């Protein structure tokens, strides 16, 4: 089964979050302009999206299809979202890539992120939370929720031991605002 980029699970009104040691043991090596063409987290992953996120992406489709022409179908747009109760997932292309991925000569980029940035829109209002939070994962335990790093991210090279990546931020430092968004300010403030 393909690894999933899941949205934060519903865990009750006020779950207790714990930060896994991997958040400070691993450094995050993401390229600011996207991955080199041959390596990207946007291939081989199932991405969960909410209905609200689908509606937001739909408003960008015309601009997205100018970057990724296969998103256009006749006078409309390809339907790339499939039901996966309770929400939806983005249907991958045959090569396993997300349909919103596009490649320049050197990089692989998210067209949603790119269009939002280029037009001065807020990326977080359009890019699925599951992608913005990658490679964080929330693992429900019996009485609490562990904030940790998706194991596939280490295989892909997004993260590595701090000693192997001098000068790169730890996952905790790189994702403080996302962890605060998911778990509350008090969790990252500790
Ligand atoms: S998160 Fe990892 S695979 Fe994705 S763009 Fe960054 S470095 Fe590349
Ligand atoms: S929506 Fe963007 S960031 Fe998410 S998998 Fe697709 S191309 Fe990658």
Closest CA to 19 of 147, 172, 139: 147
Pocket, ligand 1, Cβ cutoff 6 A:
29-31, 34-35, 39-41, 134, 156, 158
**Neighbour-count burial for 173-189, b at 16+ CB within 10 Å, e otherwise:** ebbbebbebbbeeebbe
- Using omega within 30 degrees of 0 as the cis cutoff, is the peptide bond preceding 135 cis? yes
Ligand nearest to the CA of 136: 1
Rounded to whole angstroms, how far apart are CA atoms 158 and 161? 11
Residue-wise pLDDT tens digits, 129-168: 999 998 998 898 988 999 999 998 888 888 999 999 998 9
| CA of residue 168 to ligand 1 center, whole Å | 14
| CA of residue 143 to ligand 2 center, whole Å | 32
pLDDT value, residue 56: 97
Residues 6+ apart with CB under 8 A from 167: none
How would you class 121 by CB atoms within 10 Å of its CB: exposed for 0-12, middle for 13-18, buried for 19 or more?
Answer: middle
Domain holding 71, by residue range, is 5-188
Number of separate domains in the chain = 1
pLDDT value, residue 33: 59
Residues 6+ apart with CB under 8 A from 136: 147, 148, 149, 150, 171, 175, 178, 179, 182
Residue 70 has pLDDT above 70, yes or no: yes
Q: What is the pTM of this model?
A: 0.82
Query: pLDDT > 90: what percent of the chain?
Result: 58
pLDDT value, residue 10: 43
Residue 11 has pLDDT above 60, yes or no: no
Residue 13 has pLDDT above 70, yes or no: no
| CA of residue 24 to ligand 2 center, whole Å | 25
Rounded to whole angstroms, how far apart are CA atoms 122 and 105? 26
């Amino acid at each position: 089964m393909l690894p999933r980029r899941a949205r934060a699970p519903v865990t009750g009104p006020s779950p207790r979050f714990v930060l896994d040691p991997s958040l400070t043991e691993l450094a995050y090596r993401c390229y600011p302009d996207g991955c080199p063409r041959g390596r990207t987290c946007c291939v081989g992953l199932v991405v969960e999206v909410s209905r609200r996120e689908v509606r937001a992406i739909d408003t960008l489709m015309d601009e997205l299809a100018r970057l990724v022409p296969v998103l256009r179908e006749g006078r409309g747009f390809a339907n790339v979202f499939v039901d996966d109760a309770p929400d939806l997932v983005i249907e991958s292309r045959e090569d396993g890539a997300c349909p919103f991925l596009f490649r320049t000569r050197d990089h692989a980029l998210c067209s949603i992120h790119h269009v939002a940035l280029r037009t001065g829109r807020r990326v977080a209002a359009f890019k699925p939370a599951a992608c913005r939070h990658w490679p964080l994962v929330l693992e429900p335990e019996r009485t609490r929720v562990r904030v940790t790093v998706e194991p596939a991210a280490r295989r892909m090279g997004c993260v590595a031991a701090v000693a192997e990546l001098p000068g790169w931020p730890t996952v905790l430092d790189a994702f403080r605002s996302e962890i605060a968004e998911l778990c509350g300010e008090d969790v990252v403030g500790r």
